[in-house]
Amino acid sequence: MNSTLVLRSRVAAMHAIASLLLAALVLGGCAGSVRNVAPRTAADAPRGRGDSDREAGRKHEPYWPYQLAELRLAADSTAAAEGSLKTALARDRSYAPALSLLSKLYFDSGRHAEAIRMLEAARARVEDFPDGFPPELLSGLALHYDALGRIARADSLMDAIRTGDRKVTRVAGVYLALRGTDPTAAAAPAGAAVKENPKSAVRQNNYGITRLRAGDPVAARKAFNDAIALDPTLPGPYYNLAILEKYYALDDAAAEHWLALYRKRSASDPDSLFGAIARDGKAGTP
């Protein structure tokens, strides 16, 4: 077997890091349900309602602790953000933006069973979702099942929402395909996702993985660099560029560079690059 085929075989066996966007639902965008509509501003408030009445109303609306949770997550205060999201859900147990953001928080921390219990309980409350359970939440549920190895359950949930224009669930579908064993399964949906929204760093990164698996490092490098330009905080593209440089371009110095940038953003090492680059190059630490 020639060296090119050996190299491609080695890289195809690697996972790389797919990016996942379990974005919180757009307020007001959950199947038209009024429970997800942001409160109106003071200028839009009904005439005759006093400031004290508005303040009293704010104490019972889930929107405000949800907004606080977003701010806390942006400041890396994960525990405080979780508390704010639970406050929002105590005010409205089926407030979809809070369910979605808490689902993402649970996913990032590996608390998949906890997320499944929360989302399945919400899904069972059909009276809270008269227009149907939001597809964004359903795709999040599928991802948690997939993370626990319950592949058939995840696939059945995704199959239930693959009809129609489901932009967020398309990202979830690509993510699930990238986690699978068939390296070609995600290529078409990843390409379609990027075409639909080329300004998404998540989609560019996932598309880059499909290009890397297809043996096209030039297109993969462009996609990963585009992802970084769109969102420099997203860890995956840096890790994937380290894979590309080490195993395709055979440039250990470049691999060290990208891995050091990645390690400033994440400690996860699914393909054991930390040790490989430490052995072949320098320390591999930022």
- Annotated domain spans of the chain: 22-33+53-161
pLDDT of residue 184: 57
Give DSSP secondary structure letters for 102-141: HHHHHHHTT-HHHHHHHHHHHHH-GGG-TT-S-HHHHHHH
With residues binned 3-state (H G I as helix, E B as strand, rest as coil), the percentages for the chain, rounded to 5, are 65, 0, 35
Question: Could you report the per-residue pLDDT of 150-166, keeping only the tens digit for each?
Answer: 878 877 877 776 554 45
Domain 22-33+53-161 sits in which CATH superfamily? Tetratricopeptide repeat domain (1.25.40.10)
Show the tokens assigned to 48: 């005759």
Lowest-pLDDT range of 5-9, 81-85, 144-148? 5-9
Our separate counts of H helices and E strands in the chain read: 15, 0
Say if residue 187's pLDDT is above 90.
no
Q: Which of 135, 145, 113, 158 is nearest to 25 (CA)?
A: 135
95 CB-side CA count, 13 A = 25
Question: Could you report the per-residue pLDDT of 220-253, keeping only the tens digit for each?
Answer: 899 999 999 999 988 889 988 998 888 888 888 9
pLDDT band with cut points at 50, 70 and 90 for residue 48: very low
Place of tokens 């929402």: 161
Mean pLDDT on 2-27? 43
- Over pLDDT 70: what percentage of the chain? 65
pLDDT of residue 113: 94
Q: What is the mean pLDDT of the chain?
A: 73
Question: Could you report the per-residue pLDDT of 167-176, keeping only the tens digit for each?
Answer: 544 555 554 4
pLDDT band with cut points at 50, 70 and 90 for residue 270: confident
Question: Could you report the per-residue pLDDT of 107-142, keeping only the tens digit for each?
Answer: 878 899 999 999 999 999 999 999 888 888 887 888
pLDDT band with cut points at 50, 70 and 90 for residue 44: very low
Alpha-carbon distances, residue 119 vs 93, 96, 176, 281 (angstroms): 11, 10, 18, 45
189/67: higher pLDDT:
67
| Whole-angstrom distance, CA of residue 121 vs CA of residue 129 | 12
- The pTM (predicted TM-score) of the whole model is 0.54
Q: Would you say 225 and 189 are in contact if contact means Cβ atoms under 8 Å apart?
A: no
Q: State in Å, rounded, how far the first CA of the chain is from the last one.
A: 36
Q: Would you say 157 and 137 are in contact if contact means Cβ atoms under 8 Å apart?
A: no
